[in-house]
Amino acid sequence: MLSQSTRYYLPEPSHWPIVGSCALFLMALGAVLWMNGTGAGPWVVVAGMAVLVYMMFGWFGTVIRESEGGKFNRQVDISFRWSMSWFIFSEVMFFAAFFGALFYMRVLSVPWLSAGDTMEQLWPGFAPHWPVSGPGIEETFTPMGAMGIPAINTLILLTSGVTVTFAHWGLKKNSRAQLIWGLVATVALGLLFLSLQAYEYVHAYKELNLTLGMGAYGATFFMLTGFHGFHVTIGTIMLIVILARSIKGHFTADHHFAFEGVSWYWHFVDVVWLLLFVLVYWL
């Protein structure tokens, strides 16, 4: 339960930031060696990632023990809420920039390129319509349609928003079974979404010739859907951690911000996908 102490909790000095810094150094060093053709480069990157995972388990475990030990009062809880809110806002700005790039290319640059005779000389046969690849690309591709896997994935993510809310209701009424099964369903739906998106990418590359090399459309398609898929992956990992903690008996009806923070993030991922479905697949 939340401590009623009015003092703001200050943790003891920790070695985990140093461990995290070492992990980032190893990953950066390995990337440099890898790009320069040094055989040890990939292994150094893997070592850095392993150290990073070790750091995350250790540091997050420390925070979990502090939370379960009742060291966080309501002032700390408010700080956590503000921190998560600003983090999600920063993610919103990331996607806003990507959607802005899509808008610029689709609505502004394509009509501009069709104006005058200059483009006819630079890019003979250019048609000002979307989707388009770009000058110098002679290969053709088929754009990804909205029906099929994208529509199914939309239904999956919307359903996962319902199941995580169902789990939250169970937590609020102290129903551990409802909490756990709601989280199990949410994790399963997240993994199903990622599996279908991986299949969609294979289908795009092999059957539609829709690749990163297909200019403006290919770049924006994979940038937006890939970045979103990365966020779904992170969200699914966080949900698995929350599920494991719930099975262990963590969280109470009035002390469960870790669950709330992850559910906020998951709902954010849902909303972004709805925009993606409409602006990238449908229109």
Which residues of the chain does CATH 1.20.120.80 include? 76-282
| 136 band by pLDDT with thresholds 50, 70 and 90 | low
The pLDDT value recorded for residue 73 is 79
Q: Is the peptide bond before 131 cis (omega within 30 degrees of 0)?
A: yes
Q: Are 154 and 274 in contact (CB under 8 A)?
A: yes
Q: Which residue type does 169 have?
A: W
Cα 259 from Cα 269, distance rounded (Å): 15
**Residue 45: which residues within 8 A CB-CB, separation 6 or more?**
26, 27, 30, 31, 34
Question: pLDDT tens, 160-206?
Answer: 999 999 999 999 888 999 999 999 999 999 999 999 999 999 988 88
User: Of residues 13 and 18, which shows the higher confidence score?
Assistant: 18
Q: How many CA atoms lie within 13 A of 115 on its CB side?
A: 5
Which residues of the chain does CATH 1.10.287.70 include? 12-71
Tell if the pTM clears 0.75, that is, is over it: yes
CATH value of 76-282 in 1.20.190.20, 3.20.20.70, 2.130.10.10, 1.20.120.80: 1.20.120.80
Question: pLDDT tens, 58-100?
Answer: 998 888 888 888 777 788 888 888 999 999 999 999 999 999 9
User: Is 12-71 a CATH 1.10.287.70 domain?
Assistant: yes
Radius of gyration of the chain (CA): 23
Most confident of 119-128, 130-139, 258-267: 258-267
The residue among 169, 192, 189, 193 whose CA lies nearest residue 179 is: 169
